[in-house]
Amino acid sequence: MTDADPAATDAELSRLASVDLNLLVPLLAVLEDRSVTRAAARVGLTQPAMSHALRRLRRLLGDELIVRQGNTMTLTPRAAELIAPLRRALRQTARVVDFPAFDPAADSRVITVGMTTSTALVIGDAVARLLGERAPHVTLRLLAERTVSESLFTDEGVDVLLLSFASRYPRERLYDDRWVVITGPATPEDASALDLLTTLPHVVFDGVPRFPVPYAVLDERGIPYRVRDRVTDYLLIPHLVAGSGAVAVHRHRVTTALQPLLGLRIEEFPFPMPGLGIDMVWNPWLVDVGFTTWLRGVFLEAAAQLPPGGR
């Protein structure tokens, strides 16, 4: 359909006139919450009224939308496809009717942020503190995520992801970081970073990619090393290294945050490395420009308060 096709526009308007568009708000609520009870409370309906709305929606769309599987409620494939365009349409409608501009002092939404546990250790407290000061009625929801998928935006309602790796979505650097060599306090003081890497057993991240980028550099240079432990959470690595006589390659900001607790020894990685950092990836379906601009400012302010750590 184009603007030059008024017949098609009139036909679609005629079809929409026969549909109760008030059903779209409860539809989005029940698809996002996957619960009639929670959806009803969210949009201010009684549970019987929400159940009635769901029955009407099932008849209208010719689909069950949400079905029980064991002890959980699951969306049908058609329902899952509806979430993103429905959210986009309702947010655009909110702009058309000119709701009041975003006011952090009065807003009570849930702000959902996806980040790894390591990133949360570095910047999570600063973000939570600033949100508490600037938007006292909002709820911060943190999802510990290492991957990027469209479902995080459409199903989980993530507003922004903080990532260290490439994705197909536009990204913006939040803060820089760098790779360092870490070990426990009992290692010989005169041992260099390269000595530590070649003589001590390694604790490495076991994920995708299999090992972090510094190991590709060691392999290219023919530097020998022995892997003793593999773990799937970066935040566990400094704890394993601290008292076990092992060595690891880790992020500078995380290890400096843990150094007072674990007594870590931190040395610079002995070879040149490409840049490293954490980027912001915003939900591509967010249309509330006032909100996203404000939240971006909160994250940038939190990052500006971090101690120097990148290069």
User: Do 167 and 282 fall into the same domain?
Assistant: yes
> Does 311 map to a domain?
no
> Does 281 map to a domain?
yes
What was the pLDDT predicted at 2? 46
User: Do 172 and 184 fall into the same domain?
Assistant: no
The span from the CA of 15 to the CA of 69, in Å, is: 34
- Residues 96, 79: contact at Cβ < 8 Å? no
The span from the CA of 126 to the CA of 278, in Å, is: 15
User: Do 246 and 197 fall into the same domain?
Assistant: yes
User: Do 281 and 270 fall into the same domain?
Assistant: no
User: Do 133 and 252 fall into the same domain?
Assistant: no
End-to-end CA distance of the chain: 51
Number of structural domains the chain divides into: 3
What was the pLDDT predicted at 300? 96
> Does 101 map to a domain?
no
What was the pLDDT predicted at 250? 95
Share of the chain above pLDDT 90, in %: 45
pLDDT, tens digit, 9 for 90 and up, residues 50-68: 888 899 889 888 999 999 8
Q: What is the mean pLDDT of residues 112-141?
A: 94
Most confident of 46-50, 142-146, 158-162: 158-162
What was the pLDDT predicted at 153? 79
Task: Please tell me the least confidently modeled range out of 163-167, 191-195, 298-302.
Answer: 163-167
Task: Please tell me the least confidently modeled range out of 1-10, 19-28, 233-242.
Answer: 1-10
Domain around 187: 179-274
CATH number reported for the structural domain that contains residue 61 in this entry: 1.10.10.10
User: Do 50 and 196 fall into the same domain?
Assistant: no
Label residue 239 by pLDDT band (50, 70, 90). very high
> Does 219 map to a domain?
yes
What was the pLDDT predicted at 18? 64
Q: Which of 74, 96, 118 is the last residue of a domain?
A: 96
User: Do 86 and 13 fall into the same domain?
Assistant: yes
Label residue 188 by pLDDT band (50, 70, 90). confident
Q: What is the mean pLDDT of residues 134-149?
A: 86
User: Do 162 and 283 fall into the same domain?
Assistant: yes
What was the pLDDT predicted at 40? 84
Residue 122 has pLDDT above 90, yes or no: yes
User: Do 132 and 52 fall into the same domain?
Assistant: no
Q: Which of 70, 96, 122 is the last residue of a domain?
A: 96
> Does 230 map to a domain?
yes
Label residue 4 by pLDDT band (50, 70, 90). very low
> Does 128 map to a domain?
yes
The span from the CA of 158 to the CA of 152, in Å, is: 6
The span from the CA of 156 to the CA of 144, in Å, is: 12
The runs of H, that is alpha helices, within the chain are: 6-17, 24-33, 36-43, 47-61, 77-96, 117-119, 125-134, 150-154, 193-199, 213-220, 236-242, 252-262, 289-304
What was the pLDDT predicted at 98? 61
pLDDT, tens digit, 9 for 90 and up, residues 70-102: 888 888 889 888 888 888 888 777 666 665 678
CA atoms within 13 A on the CB side of 285: 19
Q: Which residues contact 108 (CB under 8 A, 6 or more apart)?
A: 137, 138, 139
Residue 7 has pLDDT above 60, yes or no: no
User: Do 150 and 188 fall into the same domain?
Assistant: no
CATH number reported for the structural domain that contains residue 253 in this entry: 3.40.190.10
User: Do 23 and 87 fall into the same domain?
Assistant: yes
Label residue 3 by pLDDT band (50, 70, 90). very low
User: Do 118 and 255 fall into the same domain?
Assistant: no
Q: What are the CA-CA distances from residue 19 to residues 15, 56, 57, 59, 147 (Å)?
A: 7, 11, 10, 12, 39
Structural element, H or E, at residue 190: none
> Does 194 map to a domain?
yes
Q: Which of 33, 67, 96 is the last residue of a domain?
A: 96
Q: What is the mean pLDDT of residues 232-249?
A: 92
List, as one string, the DSSP characters of 130-158: HHHHH-TT-EEEEEE-S---HHHHHTS--
Task: Please tell me the least confidently modeled range out of 90-94, 95-99, 186-190, 228-232.
Answer: 95-99
> Does 4 map to a domain?
no
